Structure formats: C-alpha cells, structure tokens
C-alpha cells in the first residue's frame, strides 16, 4: 500500500541557509530516492514553494474565492512530501526515519496512510491540497484521517515516534494531486491550497 | 459474573485474534465478535454448544464476510476472495493472541491507547468497564478505542510477532503496558485492574515461555499484589512495616517467589527482575534492608529514575537509620520537590528523628500535593500525631 509522508520544516531556518547549503540539502535526497526506487518503494516526491506563496481557494455561495498567502500561520510549514510504497507501517516508519530531510531542516515527518493511491505522477507543476474534506474524483490521492497518522519528530537531535498527526489542524490535508501549473480546480466542501513544486 | 460474562472474558480475545488473522480490519472484527456474543446470549439459553469458541468464531466470520460485501467503499477491491473458507478453530490460537498483543502495544500507538486497546481486545473488558477503570466517560473511551482500531486497519500496523532484531524492544513495550495496567490499579487501589494485569502477565508467559523478563514481570506483580489487601484497613493506608502480615496472600507470595526463582535461573536481570527480587525480600520477614539497598543500586544503574532513588532512600533509612536516609533524600529535592511522595518520605524520617516541627512542615507540603483520598487521610493522621506531641 501507499503512504504519504508530509514533511514539515521551519521555513525561516530553511530560508536563512546559503545557496550552497540548500543545494547540498536538495542533493542529499538523490541517493535516498535512488534507493527507494531500487526497492520498489518510490512513487513520487516534491519540494514545495514556501507557504506564503500559496493560493487558497474556497467556495463561497457556490463561487470560488481566491486568497494569497499561507493556509495557516505557523513557524513550521508543509515543505514537501514523499509518496512511498510499503507493505506495512513498520517499513514506512523505517523509510521515514531514513529521510535525509531530517538531517537538515525537516523537524517532523507525518506518515499518513493512503486510502486510494495513484500509479504515476508528474513531478513538475503544482500540488493541489484538499483540506478539511476528502475528494474522491479520479486522479486525487485520498489520505486516511489524521487520527491514523504516525509522526516521526526530531527532538534534540533524536527521532521520536508520536501517535497522531504533526499537529491538530481545523482543516487537515485529506487529499492531493499533482497538476500542471495553473490547472483549474473547483473548491467544494474542501478548501484547496495550491503550492508550486520547486 | 454470569456464565456468559465469564465466557466473554475468557473467549473474547481468542475469537477476536483468530478472526483478525483472516480479516485484517480490527474495527469490523471487533463489531462482529461483539454481535456474535450478543447472538449467543439470545440463542443459547441453557443449551451452550459443545464448542462455544467454534460457534462464536463461525458466526462472527459469517457476519464479517456479509458486512464487507455490503459496504465496500471501493467496489474494485474484492473483499471476499481471501475469506472463502472459514478460519480453523484451534489452529495456533495462542500465536494469534500473541500477535494481537504486539499489535495493541505497537510503538506507533500512544501509551494510553495501548493500555485501553489491550484491555479491550486481549483481556476482553467492555468499553464501559475500561472507562470506569480510568475514570472517563464511556462515550469518550469508545471514541478513543474506535480511533485506535481504525488506525491499526488504515495504517496497516502489522499483525505479527516482531522479527528477532525488533523483538527485545517490542517485548519491552508489551511488558510495559502490562505493568502500567498493574501500577494504575495498585496506586489507585483498584484491585480489578491488578487482577487483569496478572492475567495478562500469565498469558505473555504462557505464550513466550522462553522470555525470562516476562516471567520476572509476572513474579513482580504477584509479589506486589499479594500484599495489596494489607495496605488498607477500613479504607486507610497502612505502611509496609505496620501491615498485618496475616492479611498477606501467602499462596500468591509462594507462587511469585517460585516464578521469580525460575526467572532468575533463566537469566532474568532486567528492571522487573530486580524489582521482583526487592518485592520478594519484602515478602520474607525479617526484611533484609541492606540487600534491598544493593538491589536498588543495581536498578538505578540500569534505569535511572528519581522515584527509584526515593525508594532507595527509604531503604537506606531502614538499613542505616533515618539520618542516612534523610541525607539520601535531600539530594532529590529538585527532581521531586513537587511530588507528594518526596515530602511524605521526608516527613516520616524527620518524625523518626524527633524533628517534629520540620516533620509537620513536610507533612503539610505533602498534603498540599496529594490527590489519592486514602493517602491523604494517612498523611492527615500522621500530621495530627506530630502536632499533638509536645516539642
């Protein structure tokens, strides 16, 4: 089955890095992805543009209303994700713990079971995150509720396992899809956060 | 307990574990096992089937298939293909329960969730019973249990005994849950919880006979529980050295000491073995206090803990006099300054040293922090004694 690994990072700390530090951090993911691929564990991954660059769409009286800026104000923001294949949660946890992001700016990885996954994904364009409600239309990756999440948290240099999501949110991510930049989406029960893929 | 309630206690975990081996959907399995017992209550009357477990398992299994066919969320997944044949009744039932235990105590589940789920599924307590034991509303407990059961299904928490490289760590988690259930019952003076913990400890030993630490844990809970009744007289707390030893459960002590000897002979040397050895010394008067201090030293080397140090200080006071105990206790002021046990132990030593003014202040500090009513009454009684004596 598939697991979605939502990577949370301290955006201020991430932005304070030098260009060469960022390049090294990004490069550290290449061997990790290669290893996942070799073991048939890899489905997709993306590094997201900062939260302040997000577009948020909400339905208001049946019409979409767009706002710009972070979906929710917080020091730690969703900074990227991995979609992986694993036979069970034990292996998913091992894969999350080995994520090189936890050696740099990631402070936590939330592991969410995927109720319905997808086979192939583009890795450029935008990611649309459905928040507060699921979207079952074709092409959407449907995540289990946050109550089923397990989070690997970096605390004082050590990794800890926490039962539940990284944080309780009024409108947690419930589904997502990767689309070409500027793709249409109609918000319904879910609010849609759109973030560019870096 | 009615015969059917007793049967529920006994068979719930077995039936659930056996069905879960076939249907990896804990919320569903939980539901249909529940319904199978309800059907039994309606249909059996006085005519209990010759093999009640097989009856329950067959009924629950049929209900599970039925349910899955009807409510498949994603029709493209055929739910029934893996369920064509009924599960075998006595095939590896023991192993199923062991798997269930490891699933319930998985590290991706919070400690309170592990405890509640183990009591619900393995021990066969009802949600209402667990809610009452942990002093929460039944609806809140039901909600918690549903969340955990769904997580086990959706996140695919393995239903297996962990591989050898992960076994020591995972077994530690299982034993910790059993001991947590025991201490919850022991500290809160709720004997039913202690009884459940002993049942679970016996089950783990039976399922993993080659694990000395599991046997050490069983010895520990037996030896502590044997003295449980003597701790209370008319609802008031009585300290170990003032307990009426005729109220100790001597058969349970003998049982615990036997289990302890076997565990030590098999190489147990972890925290439970040391604590059980200490409990064993307490159970065999006259108490060998220097030996108890030595065991606490070992325990601290293994797992440093301020509470263990507190117990050690009390043992030091018994072995070498209250002044030595007080000196050991004073080092804990920063770690345990907000814990009533620290102040209560200090008050007791000051009282024995005749420093009554200081003892009164320490009893007041303990009373300001104590929660448990029986402990509160005990401290109030001691405070009154100290205040009454001329200084």
Which pLDDT belongs to residue A193? 96
Q: Please report the DSSP string for B101-130 in residue order.
A: HHHHT-TTS-HHHHHHHIIIIIS---HHHH
Residue B6: count of CB within 10 angstroms of its CB:
10
Q: Which residues of B369-380 are buried (b: 16+ CB within 10 A; e: fewer)?
A: ebeeebbeebbe
Chain B residue with Cα closest to A147: B147
Structure tokens at B349: 């030593």
Which pLDDT belongs to residue B389? 63
Suggest the residue from B151, B158, B164, B177 to mutate for an interface test with chain A (most A CBs closer than 10 A): B151
Q: Which of B108, B113, B147 sits opposite A89 (nearest CB)?
A: B108
The helix/strand/coil state of B206 is helix
DSSP letter, residue B88: P
Q: Quickly name the fold that domain B1-82 has.
A: Rna Polymerase Sigma Factor; Chain: A (1.10.1740)
DSSP β-bridge partners for residue A7: A80, A109
Q: How far apart are CA A125 and CA B163, in angstroms?
A: 42
User: Tens digit of pLDDT for each residue in A3-53?
Assistant: 999 999 999 999 999 999 999 999 999 999 999 999 999 999 999 999 999
- Closest CA relative to residue B20, chosen from B92, B72, B77: B92
Structure tokens at B278: 């200490």
Q: Cα-flanking dihedrals φ and ψ of residue A91, to 5°?
A: -70, -35
CB pair distance less than 8 Å for A164 and B150: no
CA B265 to chain centre: 24
Percent of chain B with pLDDT over 90: 60
Please state whether beta strands A191-196 and A55-60 pair in parallel, antiparallel, or not at all (unpaired). Answer: antiparallel
DSSP letter, residue A48: B
- Closest CA relative to residue A190, chosen from A128, A115, A117, A135: A135
Which pLDDT belongs to residue B82? 47
Does the pTM exceed 0.90?
A: no
Q: What is the mean pLDDT of residues B261-282?
A: 95
User: Tens digit of pLDDT for each residue in B89-135?
Assistant: 544 455 788 899 999 999 999 999 999 999 999 888 889 988 887 78
Residue B84 in this model has a pLDDT that exceeds 50: no
Residue B364 in this model has a pLDDT that exceeds 50: yes
Q: Which residue has the higher pLDDT, B307 or B139?
A: B139
The helix/strand/coil state of B50 is coil
Please state whether beta strands A42-47 and A63-68 pair in parallel, antiparallel, or not at all (unpaired). Answer: unpaired
Cβ–Cβ contact A1 with B under 8 A: yes
Residue B64 in this model has a pLDDT that exceeds 50: yes
C-beta of residue B100 within 8 angstroms of C-beta of residue B20 = yes
Structure tokens at A19: 């260009």
- Closest CA relative to residue B219, chosen from B247, B190, B253: B253
Residue B266 in this model has a pLDDT that exceeds 90: yes
Suggest the residue from B144, B155, B161 to mutate for an interface test with chain A (most A CBs closer than 10 A): B155
C-beta of residue B105 within 8 angstroms of C-beta of residue B152 = no
Burial class (CB in 10 A: 0-12, 13-18, 19+), A45: buried
CA angle, A81 as apex, A78 and A86 as ends, to 5°?
140
Q: Which of B151, B158, B166 sits opposite A147 (nearest CB)?
A: B151
How close, in Å, is residue B155 to chain A by CA atoms? 5
CB pair distance less than 8 Å for A93 and B108: yes
Q: Which of B147, B151, B156 sits opposite A88 (nearest CB)?
A: B156
Q: How far apart are CA B196 and CA B212, in angstroms?
A: 20
Residue B303 C-beta-side C-alpha neighbours within 13 Å: 10
Instruction: Report how many Cβ contacts below 8 Å link chain A to chain B.
Output: 46
User: Tens digit of pLDDT for each residue in A139-190?
Assistant: 899 999 999 999 999 999 899 999 999 999 999 999 999 999 988 888 888 9
Q: How far apart are CA A79 and CA A88, in angstroms?
A: 25
CB pair distance less than 8 Å for B154 and A89: no
Give the residue extent of every domain in chain B. 1-82
CA B297 to chain centre: 25
Q: Which residues of B touch A (CB under 8 A)?
A: 74, 106-110, 113, 147, 150-151, 154-158, 166
CB pair distance less than 8 Å for A113 and B158: no
Which pLDDT belongs to residue B93? 52
CB pair distance less than 8 Å for A163 and B113: yes
Which pLDDT belongs to residue B390? 58
How confident is residue B81, by pLDDT bands cut at 50, 70 and 90?
very low
Residue B60 C-beta-side C-alpha neighbours within 13 Å: 36
User: Tens digit of pLDDT for each residue in B175-224?
Assistant: 999 998 898 888 776 788 899 899 999 999 998 899 999 999 999 999 99
Residue B249 in this model has a pLDDT that exceeds 70: yes
Q: Which residues of B touch A88 (CB under 8 A)?
A: 156-158
Q: How far apart are CA B25 and CA B150, in angstroms?
A: 8
């Amino acid at each position: 089955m598939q697991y979605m690994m939502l990577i949370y990072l301290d955006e201020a700390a991430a932005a304070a890095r030098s260009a060469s530090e960022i390049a090294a951090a990004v490069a550290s993911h290449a061997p990790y992805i290669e290893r996942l691929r070799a073991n048939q564990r890899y489905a997709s991954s993306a590094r997201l543009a900062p939260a302040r660059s997000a577009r948020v769409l909400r339905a208001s009286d049946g019409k979409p209303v767009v706002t710009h800026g972070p979906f929710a104000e917080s020091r730690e923001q969703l900074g990227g994700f991995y979609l992986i294949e694993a036979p069970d949660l034990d292996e998913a946890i091992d894969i999350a713990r080995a994520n090189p992001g936890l050696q740099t700016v990631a402070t936590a990885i939330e592991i969410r079971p995927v109720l319905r996954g997808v086979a192939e994904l583009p890795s450029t364009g935008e990611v649309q995150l459905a928040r507060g409600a699921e979207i079952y239309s074709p092409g959407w990756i449907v995540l289990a509720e946050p109550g089923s999440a397990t989070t690997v948290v970096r605390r004082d240099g050590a990794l800890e396992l926490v039962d539940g999501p990284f944080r309780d949110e009024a409108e947690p991510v419930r589904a997502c899809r990767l689309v070409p930049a500027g793709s249409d989406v109609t918000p319904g029960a879910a609010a849609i956060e759109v973030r560019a893929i870096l | 307990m009615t015969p059917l309630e007793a049967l529920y206690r006994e068979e719930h975990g077995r039936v659930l574990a056996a069905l879960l081996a076939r249907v990896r959907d804990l919320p569903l399995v939980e539901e249909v096992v529940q319904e199978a017992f309800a059907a039994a209550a309606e249909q059996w009357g006085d005519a209990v089937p010759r093999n009640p477990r097989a009856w329950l398992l067959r009924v629950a299994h049929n209900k599970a298939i039925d349910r899955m066919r009807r409510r498949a969320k994603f029709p493209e997944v055929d739910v029934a293909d893996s369920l064509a044949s009924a599960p075998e009744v006595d095939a590896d039932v023991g192993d199923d329960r062991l798997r269930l235990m490891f699933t319930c105590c998985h590290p991706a589940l919070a400690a309170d969730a592990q405890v509640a789920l183990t009591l619900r599924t393995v021990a066969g307590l009802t949600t209402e019973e667990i809610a009452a034991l942990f002093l929460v509303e039944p609806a809140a407990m039901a909600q918690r249990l549903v969340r955990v059961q769904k997580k086990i299904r959706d996140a695919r928490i393995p239903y297996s005994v962990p591989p050898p490289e992960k076994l020591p760590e995972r077994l530690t988690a299982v034993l910790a849950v059993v001991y947590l259930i025991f201490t919850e019952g022991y500290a809160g003076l709720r004997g039913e919880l202690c009884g459940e913990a002993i049942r679970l400890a016996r089950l783990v030993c039976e399922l993993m006979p080659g694990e000395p630490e599991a046997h050490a844990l069983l010895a520990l809970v037996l030896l502590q529980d044997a003295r449980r009744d003597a701790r209370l007289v008319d609802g008031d707390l009585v300290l170990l050295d003032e307990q009426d030893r005729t109220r100790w459960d001597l058969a349970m002590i003998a049982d615990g000491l036997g289990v302890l000897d076997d565990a030590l002979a098999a190489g147990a040397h972890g925290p439970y073995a040391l604590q059980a050895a200490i409990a064993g010394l307490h159970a065999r008067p006259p108490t060998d206090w220097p030996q108890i201090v030595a065991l606490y030293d070992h325990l601290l080397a293994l797992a440093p803990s301020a509470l263990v140090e507190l117990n050690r200080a009390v043992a030091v006071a018994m072995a070498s006099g209250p002044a030595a105990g007080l000196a050991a206790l004073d080092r804990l002021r920063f770690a345990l300054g907000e814990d009533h046990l620290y102040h209560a132990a200090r008050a007791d030593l000051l009282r024995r040293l005749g420093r009554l003014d200081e003892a009164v202040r320490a009893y007041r500090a303990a009373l300001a922090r104590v929660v448990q009513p029986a402990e509160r009454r005990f401290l109030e009684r001691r405070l009154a004694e100290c205040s009454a004596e001329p200084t």
